[in-house]
Structure 1
Amino acid sequence: MLADGGVLECSPAQNPEVFRAAGVSLGALGVISWVTLQNVPSYRLEERVRVVGLGTLLPELPSLARENRHLDCHVFPFSGQTIVKTLNPAQEPAGKTGVNSFVENTVLRWACELSRALPVLNAPLQRLVGVLVGSSRRVGESYRIFATPREVRFNEMEYHVPAERGPECLEEVCAAIRKSGVQVFIPVEYRYVAGDGFWLSPFGGGARASIAVHQYHKQDPWPLFRVVEPILRRHGGRPHWGKMHSLKAGELRELYPHFDDFRRVRLELDPRGKFLNAHLREALGA
């Protein structure tokens, strides 16, 4: 639904430029009122969890990405302990899929509070992860295995770097956090996402490694973010559009080859800027 009230349909074959812009539109083109999705039949996933040291994990990351449908790693920078989760399609019947989210979230909340009040406890608390989290395996319906309740509030910065630079960037981010002295308990998250063809997609042009840092909501996130953002940018990272970053239009243009194509299509569809707000004017230079 366009700014003038008209309706425009787009697909890879119909209005293809609008389609490539609308895949990640930031709400700046119009109101998406109808979407056709290509789904797959329901399926089960096998989840495997283990804890390893960061030094052991880094050289394994490329092969783990190739050999598993999904890979999700949570790195505790002050201890090097890393929770590694892999997810793959499974044929066997579903078993017990529940997790004790109350205990998980309660432990995380108290660890954040303790490390905030007594920073000297941060590293020892992170070293306990290897004791509290053991190896596990479960099989269940995909929607149950994917979902992880998160009840502890935090602020987050996430960048997506070229996949081949992911391990090096992750190592540098963790080393910088340790050196900075910024106290943060919530781990750094690392995962891979496949590439696509949308103009403003962080994954446009090829697969990327996503690296996210989180700060407990009672702490100012920017001391942490200012430490890691230059590293993520130096490795060619693109910021997650829905999370915190400091980039403006000029810097974003350098990251997206079709940035000006998006601006052109946006201007054609909404010449008076009805769908812009202050943030979008700054991000798009509109």
Structure 2
Amino acid sequence: MARKRKGRDISGWLVVDKPAGITSTSVVNKVRWALDAKKAGHAGTLDPEATGVLAVALGEATKTVPYITDALKAYTFTVRLGQATNTDDTEGEVIAESDIRPTDAQIKEALLPFIGDIQQVPPKFSAVKIDGQRAYKLARDGEDVEIAPRALWVEELLLVDRPDEDHVTLEMTCGKGGYVRSIARDLGAALGCHGHVRELRRIWSGPFEVQDGLTVEQIDAMAKTPDLDSHIRPLEQGLSELPELKCTPEGAVRLRNGNPGMVLASDVEYGDDAWASLNGEAVAVGVYKAGELHPNRVFVKA
């Protein structure tokens, strides 16, 4: 018999401003402990040394994680020019150096091919699986791993600052699965000077913005109190990228039982993903077909 997980049945989102030096999983565990939550997860891993928005889903909100993971995200990051590392960030060993320092104009021109639909090879020290094993494990074992390119949509990539000739600060808006470390590596290669990420910060992810995030210190200070509960955002925020359809009370009953339910007319096209609500509360996510929502995720009322 499966062991029943302890904790509160609490649903929603808590936005955390993740500090450097801690894993995303550790942040989730901290939030789960502080809220005494039965279930928690996050939408989009940040590297341990990266900072910024980590959206933690609680309870039923974990069912909306894929929609935040798929949403656009924005990062600011500083690239150290003139050096390549084996991890494409400051955690690794320097493997190549150059005295070449491109001008701002050269950098702006080199950024253009990185915008739009691009193919990106993830870093060798990443969680990508190769023959069932994580790439970083193979790399640590000294194996020369080959990782296939992956498609990435880059909405925007801008030069926002040039602190000195060795560093450049960029801002990128991209879709799911982007590796900022790969952008730094490939930009350095395109400029002929090498490059790696010095600092990385996620400034927003879907509807969640860094200025709304709690620090780990704030979470510790408010742990196990109603003050922390007051910062929990509705699970419906995790569905902001999808159209909302209002359903009838009868439709809500059918949807909650896993059956297609009637929704009120809207401009949603046949076959579109959408979510149904009753009195502003999420009932289900699914596919719209001829006046009904066919559910693939149903939300359980607390």
Q: TM-score range by the shorter chain?
A: under 0.3
**TM-score relative to the length of structure 2:** 0.22
